[in-house]
Amino acid sequence: MSRIIMGIESSCDETGVGLVRLHDDGAVELLADEVASSVEQHARFGGVVPEVASRAHLEAMVPTTSRAFEKAGLKLSDVDAIAVTAGPGLAGALLVGVSAAKAYATALDVPLYGVNHLAGHIAVDTLQHGPLPTPCLALLVSGGHTQLLRVDDIASSITELGSTVDDAAGEAYDKVARVLGLPYPGGPPIDKAAKNGNPAAIAFPRGMTGPRDAKNDFSFSGLKTSVARWVEGATRRGEEIPVDDVAASFQEAVADVLTMKAIRAAKEQGIGTIVISGGVAANSRLSSLAAERCAAAGIELRVPRPRLCTDNGAMIAALGAHVVAAKRPTAPLDFSANPALPVSVVSL
């Protein structure tokens, strides 16, 4: 008999509730994916304000849950198991989702799973492209994370190969957007401006690509500073800032390093599939360059549609379904959220 899994996400500024059906053959089908975002409340601060995010989760949790059940045409009593993001993320924000999940699991008397947000970003791809070939290599690029991961089993075995030593890729987009006078979050407006710019106009640095640098790690803070210096210099000289060219050149530097390192790691690990996920995976240049380079290297590329790439509840429901299918243990009802949960811990 198929089972209904509810997923709750509240690690950052998106309150997400997802519902999936886990079929007997292990296939996972998306039924509902409702998201309430507090992004507009953070825009004037240029970044997420944790206290504001927590309060917004509290207000959005019940209405978002109701909408998800309405969309799926299901009742709360149809739920067979609940998965919630246990970490990593903002402590106060995580707490709201974990508390809600515990309340629903107790009231409905169903098993509860505390799962890893980062693993959720990878698991979500199965909703669109079916089971993940294993092993596969995941490039996770969001506002908070930039990581290369080896996935041997989405329900139980993920190994970090490398990560950023400073800013996350999305954070670099957000900071560069601010320098260019573009709105927050910076990814979408930079992506748009870059379409009219010349990616070769300015040679911005490719961080951590020297012979002595850790191969699988990333650095974006030098790139961000370099863009800021370039803009300051032009402003001092009274020149008009060619926003489109700066955006395109910055974006090229990011996409170049991300794709080069992901493909190199896949080749070294003997892995034939790369999955790119997280908010920055929505970037048009990242996906086109990745497609080009993966094709040349004979590597299969999987990128979930943008809506699934950014934070949502369906990714947590999808991961929950894989964890349930793998018969992993449930979380004790007194478990705590862990803001620094390592990616190697797929479920608590």
* Contacts to ligand KG4 by CB under 6 A: 12, 142-144, 170, 173-174, 185-188, 191, 278-280, 282-283, 310-311
151 in Cβ contact with 134 (< 8 Å): yes
Site for Zn ion in 61-80 (CB under 5 A): none
Q: Does 37 bind Zn ion (CB under 5 A)?
A: no
Q: Rounded to the nearest whole angstrom, what is the least distance from the CB of residue 291 to ligand KG4 in the complex? A: 15
- Cis ω on the peptide bond leading into residue 88 (within 30° of 0)? yes
Q: Does 125 bind Zn ion (CB under 5 A)?
A: no
Q: Rounded to the nearest whole angstrom, what is the least distance from the CB of residue 183 to Zn ion in the complex? A: 20
170 binds, among Zn ion, ligand KG4, none (CB under 5 to 8 A by kind): ligand KG4
Three-state SS across 180-217? CCCCCCCHHHHHHHHCCCCCCCCCCCCCCCCCCCCCCC
273 binds, among ligand KG4, Zn ion, none (CB under 5 to 8 A by kind): none
Return d(Cα 170, Cα 254) in angstroms, integer. 10
CA 193 to chain centre: 23
For ligand KG4, the closer of residues 92 and 278 by Cβ is 278
Q: Rounded to the nearest whole angstrom, what is the least distance from the CB of residue 142 to Zn ion in the complex? A: 4
For ligand KG4, the closer of residues 162 and 278 by Cβ is 278
Return d(Cα 256, Cα 250) in angstroms, integer. 10
Q: Say which DSSP state 144 is in.
A: S
For Zn ion, the closer of residues 122 and 248 by Cβ is 122
Q: Does 244 bind Zn ion (CB under 5 A)?
A: no
Q: Rounded to the nearest whole angstrom, what is the least distance from the CB of residue 188 to ligand KG4 in the complex? A: 5
Residue 164: name the closest of 216, 121, 122, 116 by CA: 216
- For residue 342, the surrounding DSSP H or E stretch is none
339 binds, among Zn ion, ligand KG4, none (CB under 5 to 8 A by kind): none
CA angle 18, 347, 130 (to 5 degrees): 55
185 binds, among ligand KG4, Zn ion, none (CB under 5 to 8 A by kind): ligand KG4
Scanning the structure block, which residue is given the tokens 């959005």? 60
For ligand KG4, the closer of residues 110 and 190 by Cβ is 190
186 binds, among ligand KG4, Zn ion, none (CB under 5 to 8 A by kind): ligand KG4
Return d(Cα 100, Cα 117) in angstroms, integer. 16
313 in Cβ contact with 35 (< 8 Å): yes
Q: Rounded to the nearest whole angstrom, what is the least distance from the CB of residue 144 to ligand KG4 in the complex? A: 4
Tokens of 331: 């979380």
Question: 37, 38, 54, 142: which one contacts Zn ion (CB under 5 A)?
Answer: 142
For ligand KG4, the closer of residues 56 and 325 by Cβ is 56
In this structure, what are the phi and psi dihedrals at residue 294, rounded to the nearest 5 degrees? -65, -40
Question: 21, 311, 331, 347: which one contacts Zn ion (CB under 5 A)?
Answer: 311
Q: Does 171 bind Zn ion (CB under 5 A)?
A: no
For Zn ion, the closer of residues 217 and 311 by Cβ is 311
For ligand KG4, the closer of residues 191 and 256 by Cβ is 191
Tokens of 10: 């509240």
Return d(Cα 191, Cα 182) in angstroms, integer. 11
Q: Which positions lie near Zn ion, rule CB under 5 A?
A: 142, 311
